Chains A and B, each alone.
Chain A
Amino acid sequence: MTRKHRLNAIIVYAVLIIGMIIFIAPYVYMILAATQNNEVILGKNPFFGFGNYFLKNLQEVQKDYQYTQVLLNSVIITVIGTTISTVITTLAGYVLAKYRFRGGNLIFYLVMIARMVPQFALIIPTFYILSRMNLTNTYTGVILPSLASTTSVFMMRQYAMDFPTELMESARIDGASEFMIFRRIAVPVLQPAILTTGLLTFMGYWNAYLFPLIILSDPKKFTVPLVIQNMTQNTYKSLNYGALMSVLATSVVPIVILYILLQRKFRSNNVASAIK
């Protein structure tokens, strides 16, 4: 290894590590604060260590908000929603990128325009429809409005544009059906993109606040962001910052774990391996 190489490596790592510190600092703060009580968190002096209030804080949110049930609700809604959404939006994005058919462009433009309508403007109409379908106060009602994620379709379409049409054509010559081509060739090639958009959808469901708020009325069905909001916005009850931080910390952890699990998959597939 030459000196130049080593210097390059040092610069690369320096940049990466500085980036890392900047990105994880608030989380370190969050996790440390989750183990402290109000006196320390609100006190004058900064704190750098762990306290012993973590369990106590968790017990408090469990008692006040049935937090394990809340976590479970969030998991159910997120997993089901993400799965269905990823399948249908991947299909849609792929079709919009790779097939020419009458109406295809129209659909794409509609998707693009719908993508630009801010969520606030859709709350009341969506609620209106869901209430007519008798889906208010159900998990389905929370899952449904975000299934047809226009962002995901748009992203998948952009990624799938690069998917080589030659692969499709040679498969057709081999007699594969269109769905088979999608399932056996496109999905493996597009896997990193699918995971990227899937994770985004996952995060969308996991952090969603407005739709769960308006759709769920039964506290037994509440999700994590509702609890966060109820803790921070409630001026009638003094806020235990440690408890809030423990909720924030636990709400981030599942996504981090999922992401770490998916890591390897991101790298293992690419176009080159599909062609071989």
Chain B
Amino acid sequence: MEKQKHGLSKYTGAAWLMILPFLLFFVVTILIPTLMSLYFSFASIGDKIDFIGLKNFIAVFKDPLFLQSYANTFIFMIGSIPITIFLSLLFAVLLNLPHVHGQGFFRTSYYLPAVTSVVAVASVFLTFYNPTGLLNNVVTHLGGQPIPWLTDPFWARISIIIISIWLNIGFYTVMFLAGLQNISSEIYESAEIDGASKMRQFFSITIPSLKPVILLGVILSTINGLGAFETPNILFKNSYGPENSAVTVGVNLYKTSFELVDYGKASAIAWTMVIVAVILSLIQFKIGGKRNDA
């Protein structure tokens, strides 16, 4: 490691030059707004912007819904991330098999959800979740009882998790596929020569090679999951779902920003999200291994 560091340091100038365009935009449109929003979280935003210390944060923590929103968000993440990753990995591996025909076609259809706006998807699902909608039609045809999709706290959460999985599988499939295709075929060939079975190859070559990409997927899902608001907002228009089962941190943030027009308090909520996301990412990096902590 140390050696590599010295070996490359003479290219520092070139490195700075290559990263400069990004940095310029990053500072002006991301970093400065981020710092401003940090300031906002200690201010009251109105016709004047006044510094009010920790008042926003105190108000946020006093809100009984605040903790509930975090609890729900974690339930949604635990319910959706592992299944999403598992299914996307399955699809990516199947699509990457050398003899599968129509890969392009399948991949395109899987990717569709990732390119459609969440609002459109959630609106269509809303009709599916109707008491007499498509899904319950299917369930009753199979001899089951109609499911209270949106009216029972348990099923309300399932409804949200289903949409989240449905939305994300395509994106992760494509991401994993890109990762799979970055694995040199020579590694597999030499494994083949050594007589390693396909299973063995999968667990000792494919999975380790995909580790950074999987880690990336988990982190992105976590961060996105914290901010998610569109799906619950559309499914449970103007409510927090049965027994507050659908209120996420994102919903709370959205309502505080645009219904209460309290941007100071909203910024405070946003910064609690940043802190939680940083902690979670650090944990995931630790679990993900030193290799990625470069």
Question: Which of A's residues lie within 8 Å of B, judged by CB?
Answer: 9, 12-13, 15-16, 19-20, 22-24, 26-27, 29-30, 87-89, 91-92, 94-102, 104, 107, 110-126, 128-129, 144-148, 150-151, 153-155, 158-159, 161-162, 165, 177-179, 182, 189, 192-193, 195-196, 199-200, 203, 206-207, 209, 225, 228-229, 232, 248, 251-252, 255-256, 259-260, 263-264, 266-267, 270-272, 275
Contact = CB atoms under 8 A, between A and B. Distances in A.
A159 B22 contact: no
B85 interface: no
A237 to B, nearest CB: 17
A116 to B, nearest CB: 4
Contacts of A122: 30, 33-34, 37
B184 interface: yes
A12 B100 contact: yes
A20 B33 CA distance: 41
Contact of A112 (B91, B178, B281): B281
B76 interface: no
A192 B178 contact: yes
Given A101-B12, A121-B267, A129-B33, A20 B184 contact: no
Contact of A99 (B8, B26, B95): B8
Nearest to B113: A23
B104 A260 contact: yes
Contacts of A30: 120, 124
Given A110-B31, A125-B37, A99 B12 contact: yes
Contact of A114 (B26, B117, B123, B185): B26
18 contacts: A12-B100, A16-B91, A19-B110, A20-B106, A88-B22, A92-B23, A101-B16, A112-B278, A118-B227, A121-B253, A146-B29, A154-B216, A161-B292, A199-B115, A203-B115, A228-B119, A259-B108, A270-B184
B29 A252 contact: no
Which of A26, A124, A193, A266 has the most chain B CB within a 10 Å cutoff? A26
A95 B253 contact: no
Secondary structure at the B interface, as helix, strand, loop or mixed, is: helix
B179 interface: yes
Q: List 7 tightest A-B contacts by C-beta distance, closest first.
A: A121-B270, A125-B33, A178-B14, A125-B36, A92-B22, A116-B277, A148-B25
Contacts of B120: 30, 228, 248, 251
Given A196-B178, A267-B181, A124 B106 contact: no
Interface string B43-80: 00100000000000000000000000000000000000
B145 interface: no
Given A114-B34, A182-B18, A259-B115, A119 B227 contact: yes
Given A23-B170, A118-B226, A148-B26, A158 B212 contact: yes
A109 to B, nearest CB: 9
Contacts of B94: 12, 15-16
A36 B179 CA distance: 42
Contacts, number: 264
B19 A96 contact: yes
A267 B233 CA distance: 38
B223 interface: yes
Contacts of A19: 91, 106, 109-110, 169
Given A196-B178, A259-B108, A159 B213 contact: yes
A146 B26 CA distance: 9
B28 A91 contact: no
A203 B8 contact: no
Which of B18, B32, B174 has the most chain A CB within a 10 Å cutoff? B18
Contacts of A252: 112, 115-116
Contacts of A154: 216, 219-220
A159 B107 contact: no
Contacts of B271: 117, 121
Contacts of A16: 91, 94-95, 100, 106
A30 B218 CA distance: 31
A165 B4 contact: yes
B29 A260 contact: no
A158 B215 contact: yes
A271 B28 contact: no
B197 interface: no
